Structure 1
Amino acid sequence: MQHSKASELFAKLPKAELHLHIEGSFEPKLMFEIAQRNQIELPYKSVEEIRAAYEFNSLQDFLDIYYAGMSVLQHTQDYYDLTMAYLKKSHADNVKHVEIFFDPQGHTERGVPFETVITGIHSALEDGQAKFGISFKLIMSYLRHLSEEDAFKTWEEAQHHLSIIDGIGLDSSEVGHPPSKFKNVFAEAKAKGLKLVAHAGEEGPPEYVYEALDILEIDRVDHGNRSLEDTDLVQRLVHEQKTLTVCPLSNLKLCVVSDMKDHPLRKMLEMGLAATINSDDPSYFGGYMNANFNAVDKALDLTLEETVLLARNSVTGSFAELDRQKELLQEIEAISAPYLHNV
C-alpha cells in the first residue's frame, strides 16, 4: 500500500499528544511481565488471549477490561515502566510534548497509595524529557461513575503533590454522569490555578459539552464529537478557540463512528474547530499517534494543509509554556515548507 504524502509528512512533524490515558497504553507483553514480577495471576493464559479480549463492542465493555488490566500495577516501578514504555512509542512517532491523564481512583481503591502512582509516572516523565526531549504536563482525572464525594477524597490526597499536577480531567462512563455532577470539586481545582479538561460529547449529548464549558469552566474539550449536532455550540467553540482532543481509532473501536470514512475530523477543521489527533488508549484501540493519523488519512485522504493544521493545533492547544509552543511551531513550519511549496 502506498504511503501517502500526508502520512509521510505527519510522521516527520513534531506534535503534541493531548488525550492519552496512561493506563490505556498498557501493552499485553508488559502486562504479563509485571504480573509475573508481582506474582499476580491474570485471567488470560497468553498475550494472544488478552488481544482477543480487546474485541469489545461498547465503552462499558472496554472499561471492564481496562480496569481488570490495571490490577497488576502495584509498585512505583510498575508505573514507571508503564509510562516509559509509552514515551518510547511516542518518541518513535516524533511526539515532542505529551499531556497524559492518570486515574488515581482506579489504583487507590485497590489499596495502592496515591504517592506510589504519581511518583512512578512523574519520574518516568522526567526521564523521558531528559532522554527523548519530550516535554510534558500531568493531568489527574476523576472517574465520573464514582461520586463527587469520592473525587473530593482524591483531591485531598493530591494536595501534597499539586506542584507536579498541571490539570484536572474527567473520564470513564459518560452517559448518566453529566459534568455538573463534579461542579464543586472542579471549582476547587480552578481556585488553585490548575488547568481543567473533561470528556464531553463522546457518547454524551451536546448538553454535556455546554455543562463542561459553563459549569466546570474547562479550558479544553476531550472528544467533543457530538458538538457537531448543535450549530450554536460549534460557533461558540470556534469563537472561544476551544481545542477538541479527537481520538479516531478510539471512535471507531467504541462505535462512535461505524466507518472511518464517516469520521467528522475533516468537517471539524472545515468548520474552524481546533481539532487535534490523539490515541486515547492506544494498546486497546489499535495504535499510537501516527497510526491514528494514518487511519484517518486512508479514509479521508487528508490534504497536506490539513496535516500541518492538525500538528499546529496540537501545539497551540497544549498547556505547554509559550516558549515551548513557539519552538515546536517553528519546527513544524521548517519541516512542512518543502511539502507545501512542492520543493
Structure 2
Amino acid sequence: MPKRLGIGSRLILCFLRARDTEEAMTTLEQALPHCDRIVGVGLDSAEKGNPPGKFREVFDRARAHGFVTVAHAGEEGPAVYVRDALDLLHVSRIDHGIRALDDPAPVERLARERIPLTVCPLSNLRLQVVDDIRHHPLRTMMDKGLFVTVNSDDPAYFGGYVNENYLAVQQPLGLSNEHLAQLARNSFDAAFLPEEEKRMLLRRVNDYVAAS
C-alpha cells in the first residue's frame, strides 16, 4: 500500500479501560505472536471511574515484551490521570491530554520532558469536551510549549479526518501557517518510526513549507 499511495501505518493495540484487567491481559497474550506487526499498546475508552493505575500490571508486561505504551488521559478525566499515566504506566505519549491545563504541575512536566500529546479537536467538540471550537485549548497548549499534534480520533464517528481537524481550528484559533507547519512537524517527531524515516518525512514537510 505505501508503494501505491505513499501512505504507511503502524498498529497500536488498545485496551478498553471499562473492561476488566484480566481481559486486557488475555488480549495482550493473544497479540504476542503478532508483535512484529504491532508497535505498541494503548488505553482508551471512558476514563471516568477507570484510572490509569488499574492497568499497571498489563502495561508492565507489555513493556517487558518491547512495546511502546500510550494512553488516553486528561480528555474527560482529570489532570491527575495524565500524571498517573506517566508515573504508573510509563507511557511515551498522552492521547488527548487537554485537561492537563487544569493543573500547572503536569503542564510544566509535559513541556519539560517533551511528551507528545495527540489532540483531537473535532472529537472533543462532538463529545462535548469543549462547547465551541473557538474555546478549544490547542492554541493555549502550543503557547505553553507543549508538544502537541492534531489528529482525527475516530473519523467515522466524529466526522473529520486529519485535514478536517486542521481546517476546523485554523481560523477559530488564529493559527498561522507556521503554527500549522509546526503541528505537522510535531506529528512526525512524535511518531513511532525509525529516525531515518522521520528525517525523510520532516524534510518533505519543510520542502513543502518552503515552496508555499
CA contact under 8 A between 1:279 and 1:292: conserved in structure 2?
A: yes
RMSD: 0.9
Q: 2:82 aligns with which of 202, 206, 209?
A: 209
Is the aligned partner of 1:230 residue 2:99?
no
Which deviations, in whole Å up to 9, do the C-alpha atoms of 1:256-294 show, x marking residues without a partner? 100000011111111110110000011111110111110
CA distance, structure 1, for counterparts of residue 115 and residue 169 of structure 2: 22
**Which secondary structure state, in structure 2, belongs to the residue aligned with residue 333 of structure 1?**
helix
Is the aligned partner of 1:292 residue 2:150?
no
1:129 is displaced (CA, Å) by: 1.8
Q: 1:264 aligns with which of 130, 137, 142?
A: 137
Structure 1 match to 2:149: 276
Is the aligned partner of 1:325 residue 2:198?
yes
Relative to the length of structure 2, the TM-score reads: 0.98
Is the aligned partner of 1:163 residue 2:36?
yes
Q: Spell out structure 1 runs of 4+ moving beyond 4 A.
A: none
Is the aligned partner of 1:239 residue 2:123?
no
1:130 is displaced (CA, Å) by: 2.8
Structure 2 match to 1:97: none
CA distance, structure 1, for counterparts of residue 3 and residue 67 of structure 2: 25
Identity of aligned residues (%): 48
Structure 2 match to 1:151: 24
1:183 is displaced (CA, Å) by: 0.2
Structure 2 match to 1:313: 186
Greater RCO between the two (CA within 8 Å, min separation 6)?
1
> Counterpart of 1:275 in structure 2: which amino acid?
V
> Counterpart of 1:176 in structure 2: which amino acid?
G
Unmatched tracts of structure 1, length 5 or more:
1-127
1:298 is displaced (CA, Å) by: 2.8
CA distance, structure 2, for counterparts of residue 144 and residue 155 of structure 1: 14
CA distance, structure 2, for counterparts of residue 130 and residue 172 of structure 1: 33
**Which secondary structure state, in structure 2, belongs to the residue aligned with residue 135 of structure 1?**
coil
CA distance, structure 2, for counterparts of residue 245 and residue 329 of structure 1: 18
Instruction: Indicate the structure (1 or 2) with the bigger Cα radius of gyration.
Output: 1
1:338 is displaced (CA, Å) by: 3.9
Structure 1 match to 2:208: 335
CA distance, structure 1, for counterparts of residue 168 and residue 105 of structure 2: 30
> Counterpart of 1:261 in structure 2: which amino acid?
R
Is the aligned partner of 1:140 residue 2:7?
no
How many residues align? The count is 212
1:334 is displaced (CA, Å) by: 1.0
Unmatched tracts of structure 2, length 5 or more:
none
CA distance, structure 2, for counterparts of residue 164 and residue 331 of structure 1: 26
